[in-house]
Amino acid sequence: MKITMLAYPGLTPLDLMGPLQVWSLWPDAEIQVVWKTTDPIMTDTGMAIVPTHSFEDSFDKPDILFAPGGTKATFELMADVTTMAFLKAKGANAQWITSVCTGALLLGSAGLLAGYKATTHWAAHANLEAFGAIATQGRYVIDRNRATGGGVTAGIDFGLALLAAIAGDELAKTVQLSLEYSPQPPFNSGTPEEASEETIQQVLARFATAIS
């Protein structure tokens, strides 16, 4: 199982780390984290990560292509010719085309979501339609060979669900127990449906600043 996970300067690293940690326990997986070069890239947390491979040295035909999200950096990357060409080329050969959070906007911009149901971070949901995607509510959405996760932390649920779809429930359950994934969020504030209006407005204001 050849897995190509995009990384880029400014990404939200938890988008990447959720499925990466899940899939690192998949015995059949060979995982590459790729960017234009293998120099360290800064994330939106202030800590850098190091891609394992450059675009050039990455798998010709990945079984899974994955794109993580972010804020301003992600919106800018949608206009980056090299990255869009890379996603388009790898997407043409991939068995699965996947994302977490606003990574879906990168797939969409590369023409990979037209006619497919997809999800993204709740605050960016409206952006999906511009790419001909069918914006769909869901912690993760699987439509044929497109699998997209919601915002940031959805990457863990998405990663386990895709693992189960490909390798079976038993392995996914073992990985879930290995990572002690029995979440207990301290508040009911993880979606706009649950959160207070004041909390929603604060997040939207932060998001508007972060993408401008």
Which of 6, 17, 87, 97 binds a second copy (CB under 8 A)? It is 17
Instruction: Work out how close the CB of 19 gets to a second copy at its nearest, in angstroms, rounded to a whole number.
Output: 10
Extract the tokens encoding 91.
């997407």
Q: Please identify, among the stretches 9-17, 81-89, 90-98, 108-116, the one whose residues bind a second copy according to the rule CB under 8 A.
A: 9-17
Ordered DSSP codes for 114-158 = TTSEE---GGGGGGGGGGT-EE--SSEEEETTEEEE-STTHHHHH
Burial of 84 by CB count in 10 Å (0-12 exposed, 13-18 middle, 19+ buried)?
middle
Could you tell me the CA-to-CA distances from 115 to 79, 112, 129 in Å, in that order?
A: 21, 9, 10
- Residue 187's region, left for phi above 0, alpha for psi from -120 to 50, else beta, is beta
Q: Count other Cβ atoms within 10 Å, centred on residue 186.
A: 5
- Contact letters (x/-) for a second copy, 85-124, by CB under 8 A? ----------------x-------------------xx--
- Contact letters (x/-) for a second copy, 134-173, by CB under 8 A? -----x----------xxxxx-xx--xx--x----xx-xx
Number of residues that bind a second copy (CB under 8 A): 66
- 24 binds a second copy, rule: CB under 8 A: yes
- 47 binds a second copy, rule: CB under 8 A: yes
Q: Please identify, among the stretches 57-65, 73-81, 127-135, 203-211, the one whose residues bind a second copy according to the rule CB under 8 A.
A: 203-211
The verdict on whether 30 is a catalytic residue reads no
Extract the tokens encoding 158.
């998405």
**DSSP assignment letter at 102:** T
Please list the residues that pair with 31 across neighbouring strands.
3
Q: Which is nearer to a second copy, 92 or 188 (CB)?
A: 188
Q: Count other Cβ atoms within 10 Å, centred on residue 72.
A: 13
Which of 37, 95, 145, 199 binds a second copy (CB under 8 A)? It is 199
What is the Cα 212 distance to its own chain's centre? 21
| Contacts with a second copy, residue ranges (CB under 8 A) | 12-14, 17-18, 20-21, 24-25, 31, 33, 40, 44-52, 101, 121-122, 139, 150-154, 156-157, 160-161, 164, 169-170, 172-174, 176-187, 189-192, 194-196, 198-200, 202-203, 206-207
Residues classed as catalytic: 101
